[in-house]
Amino acid sequence: MGKTTVGATVAIAAARAGANVQLVELEGRSQLASLFGQGPLAFEPRLLSAPEAGAGSITGRRITPDEALSDYLGAHGLERMTGRLTMTGIIDVVTTAAVGLRDLMALGKIRQIADRHLADLVVVDGPAAGHAISFLRTPSGLARASLGGPVHRQAEAAIEFLADESRCRVQLVCIPEPTPVTECIDTAFTLEEDLGVSLAPIVVNQIQAPIRGLISAARTVRLPGPTTTVIDRRVRQGRTQARQLDRLSEGLPLAQIHLPKLRTAQVGPADIHRLADAYGV
């Protein structure tokens, strides 16, 4: 259970509170729609969850750099050119060759969705930590590299968008283990101090609920060898989890949202609703 599952959880929790949510899948690789029991997403938004009494709707869409560039050209009166460039594969060549342009096009489309108020909340299933930093650093790099023109204007607009806490915040996701917690702390400081991006509460998933009396029971009751081994492992996991949650609290002065560990290999719609119960709003 990772960031894609958490993205769907956030959308359901927000929709329950009455917000109309648009879920954005970057590059079309996360299988986000399957968590709602639906097939792959497309560039045009599609309804994933219809509103119920007092709740909002959830729509989903996929954004790839090529589609975002085609959409940008079309919006500027170049529809006929866009079709030809797409058929000949030139758009793919341009977005691949121009360093950072792919990420800037995707960011520009996300900003457009938010600025046009196409939804009350836009939830983006972003890349993993390493790529996420380079993804969010793209606008400043392109703004410095370009002296003017549409690329420079798009980069400046993206920088302004990312720095505005009322319009954009990043929610980090980790599990309560040493390496993920260290990576989460390091990423948080990079995002805030180097990139100027505001952070939402951290989501810690795969939290195992404590089993009351487990340690004393293991000491006082004679159990078969395999059972004792399972209990010992569960006790060690609980201690590791507690230590890592303390580390995260000490390293980052941010609120934490704890999501329970699911006992399933295949996460489905019912599981997402259970996680939304724990997430709240």
Span 46-62, pLDDT tens digits: 999 888 878 899 999 99
Structural domain contains residue 221: no
Q: Report yes or no on 92 lying in a domain.
A: yes
Give 170's strand partners: 199
Q: Is residue 66 part of a domain?
A: yes
Query: Across residues 214-226, what is the average pLDDT?
Result: 56
pLDDT digits (tens, 9 = 90+) for 222-266: 555 555 566 677 778 888 999 999 999 999 999 999 999 988 778
In a domain, 115, yes or no: yes
φ/ψ of 83, rounded to 5, equals -60, -45
CA 32/CA 5 separation, integer angstroms: 8
Chain Cα centroid distance, residue 248: 19
Banded pLDDT at 132 (limits 50, 70, 90): confident
In a domain, residue 117? The reply is yes
Residue 51 covered by a domain: yes
Of the candidates 33, 40, 27, 39, the one whose C-alpha atom is nearest the C-alpha of residue 58 is: 33
Residue appearing with tokens 């078969």: 224
Average pLDDT over residues 143-154: 79
Please tell me the predicted confidence (pLDDT) of residue 74.
Answer: 66
Q: How many separate domains does the chain show? A: 1
Is 239 a domain residue? no
Compare 97 and 34 and report the one with higher pLDDT: 34
Q: Is residue 229 part of a domain?
A: no
Q: How confident is the model at residue 75 (pLDDT cuts 50, 70, 90)?
A: low
What mean pLDDT value characterizes the chain? 83
Per-residue pLDDT, 47: 95
Domain range spanning residue 42?
3-210+256-279
Of 208, 72, 226, 231, the closest CA to residue 153 belongs to 72
Q: Predicted confidence band at 281 (pLDDT cuts at 50, 70, 90)?
A: low
DSSP for 95-121?
Answer: HHHSTTHHHHHHHHHHHHHHHTTSSSE
- What is the CATH number for 197? 3.40.50.300
Q: Mean pLDDT across the stretch 24-43? A: 85
The pLDDT-based confidence of 2 (bands split at 50, 70, 90) is confident
